[in-house]
Structure formats: structure tokens, C-alpha cells
Amino acid sequence: MSAPGNHDLPSVTREVEEFVSAGGWDQPPQLFALVPTEHLLREQPDLAGQVDAESTLTPVAQEALEEPDLGVALAGIMWPPVVAGCALAQEIVILPPEAEADLPEGDSDALSRIAATHPQAREARLVAAALRDGTVACVLRLRGAEGELDEIIEHRDLAANLTTALLDTLRE
């Protein structure tokens, strides 16, 4: 089996974001296994017309996360060796740095409520992905205001804590 190419992770991360976006906003976090396409097609040849055979990785949606605390949910995940990586899509609230500085320190639930009602808050969907070799990628979709287009931002370091947590699920 050939090793997944690092160059595919950003495109697979975009693919996950586009898939989740097709379902609209206000969705719970969604987890995906990133499986080598070659392996997937060998094990399930009936998928040949449904996956991109040119891509080295195929995202496979997982069951809904039952644990509401994302950190706890991720800490309990261990992937089988055939899984080359994973991706997580979640909706978040973004504040400008000057607004974040004004937030009181405290429990995360209270901070989330305050941030969500802040006048400068923006809704966003973050997709973070990681491979076993340590490669990471992130895509952020900032929700556009009524009648405006969404803005897409890609950068591997958008969610360092989340990509670290995803990498921890891949440790053998």
C-alpha cells in the first residue's frame, strides 16, 4: 500500500469542509477517518464510482460523537492502523483579538455564551485534519452576513490545540 501524500491533506480537508457545508449551518461536530483510497477500494470495490480514485486519501464519516465535551470525546478515540489520519469539523464563534482580551477568565461554557452574544462575534466552521506522520491542515469558513458570501481561510496553524488532540488519537 502506498503512503498517503502530504500534498493531499489540504485538498482532503477542503473536501470535508465542502461536504459538511452542503448540510448547512447549525450542525454538531463531525468526525472523519482518513483512509488510503487504495485500501478502501480493495476492501469495498463497490465504492469505485463513489470515491475519487486519484486521491490518496478518502474521508469516511464516523458516527456522531456521543460525548458533548470535545476534549473528552477525542481523548477516548484510538484509530485502527489502516486509518492514515482523521478530520474534525465543528462550528465555532470567532472574536477579534481586542474583543477576546476583554473576556473574563472562567469556565468555558460561560465564555462561549458571552462570546456568542458579543456584537463582534462571527460564526465559523473549522475543519482540522491530521495524519499519523504529523502533517496537519485546517480550513475555516467564516459565515457571511445575510446576502454576503462566506469567507474561506486555509492555514495549517489555525487550530494548533485541536490538531494536537487529533494527532493524539492517531498514536499507536
Dihedral (C-alpha) 42, 43, 46, 51: value to the nearest 10 degrees? Answer: -70
Q: Is 8 exposed, middle or buried (0-12, 13-18, 19+ CB in 10 A)?
A: buried
> What pTM was estimated for this model as a whole?
0.85
Write out the residue range of the structural domain in which residue 77 sits. 8-169
* pLDDT score of 1: 38
Give backbone dihedrals phi and psi of 66, rounded to 5 degrees, phi first: -85, -30
Within-domain flag for 43: yes
Q: With respect to residue 53, please indicate whether it lies within any of the assigned structural domains.
A: yes
Domain assignment of residue 2, yes or no: no
Q: How far is CA 13 from CA 73, 85, 145, in A?
A: 20, 11, 24
Specify if 25 maps to a domain: yes
Does residue 1 belong to any structural domain of this protein?
no
Is residue 3 a part of any domain in this protein? no
What does pLDDT average to in each consecutive run of 10 residues of the chain (172 residues)? Answer: 61 95 93 94 87 88 90 92 96 78 63 66 92 96 84 92 95 80
d(CA 140, CA 158): 8
pLDDT at position 152 is: 92
Instruction: Flag whether 121 is in a domain.
Output: yes
* Alpha-carbon distances, residue 22 vs 15, 16, 135 (angstroms): 11, 10, 26
How many independent structural domains does the chain possess? 1
